[in-house]
Structures are given as C-alpha cells and as structure tokens.
Amino acid sequence: MNNIIECLNLGYSYHNGNIKTPVLNALNLTIAPAESVAIVGQSGCGKSTLLNLLGGMSQPATGKVLINNTDLSQINEEKITQLRAQHLGFVYQFHHLLKDFSALENVAMPLLIRGDNKQLAIDKASQLLANIGLQDRLNHRPAELSGGQRQRVAIARALINNPSCLLADEPTGNLDANNAQEVLNLMMALNQQQQSALILVTHDMNIAKKMDRFLTLENGVLT
C-alpha cells in the first residue's frame, strides 16, 4: 500500500540576518491512507512549519517530501499546486472563509476555481454541508455563523475535492470546549467515512491521544 505522504531527512532553518536557527533536523515521517496522526510539541518547535512543508507551501533546505509517490523537489510550482489541489485539504485555527460569500459558495469555491460545472459544484457543496448538519445555513455568510459553524464550513471546503489527506493546524484552538469537541468529532468521523488520512497539529494531549498515533516534535525530530 502506497503512503499518502512521505518525507525523508527533512531539514529546515529560520534565518534572521546572519543568525540561523535550525527547526527541523533529518526528520522522517510516513502517513498511510486513512490514518489519523497528531503532531504535538511546544510553541515554536516547528509544527506549523512541518505542515507547510508536507503541503508543499514551503521547500525544505534538505531532504524531500513525496505526495502520493511524487517527489515535490522534482516538479515545478504549477505541478505542486495541482498535486496539492488533487490530494490535500487544509484546515487552520482561523477559518479563512470569504466574508462576502455564503457558506454554500465558500464550500463550492475550490471546484469553481478548478473550472467544474457550477451547478454540479453547488450540488456537491450543498450535500456536504447537509452531511455535517448545516443544511439550514447554506445561504448564511460567515458573520452570520457561530465560531463552530464557521469551522465546520472550513472543513467542508477542505473536503470538497475528496482529498487523500487533510492537514489541520490547531483546528480547534480558537473554539470553546463544546465547539472544539464537535469539530474534532466531525473530523474523526469524516476520516473514517471518506478514508482521508488526517494529520492534526495540536497542543492538546487529550486530542492527540484520540488519533491512531501521536508524535512529539522536539529538537527538530519526531518521536
């Protein structure tokens, strides 16, 4: 069985003038289909940096990242963007919804940008929102939704392309306890239903322990 994501000997450093601060050091990681993995660690240890590397938004100083067996270092930015759109979905601590568009339009947007048929995109977005209990909020704009509802819309948007893997960076960090649990339960249910792998960055060990496995990022490596 092929791994969805594989990274080999990843190295990455921050640069501030002549000062170089290593963040990742010969890091290795494999993510299998439908697997759920939490990455935990102290603030500033490089968790979000690692997620950006896995998603092809940043390039490592050393080592390589493979998405569905394709080495990102061997393809151009256009191909990376296509690969990312095809295989990955992203959810962040802040929902990043487009404020002037409805929940339905926000979820359909990735398909519309890709050039899919508008009605088919709207129908798929509507069904996905209904599946997560937001069928009565289709035409509401983000400002008219609660924090938990906005984050659920963001998750639906991330899943509209049926990605092989969902990358989630502190997705519950901006929510109260009840909404955080709701959002976590939703992601775990969709992980099982859609068989999309889930990589979740969190500082909450209670969340981490609910994944198939959790890894600690410390001193630039995962343990």
DSSP for residue 43: T
**Number of folded domains in the chain?**
1
For range 77-88, the mean pLDDT:
87
| pLDDT tens-place string over residues 104-135 | 999 999 898 888 899 999 999 998 898 888 89
Domain residues for 217?
5-222
Q: What predicted TM-score, i.e. pTM, was given to this entire model?
A: 0.86
- CATH code, 216: 3.40.50.300
Mean pLDDT of the chain, nearest integer: 87
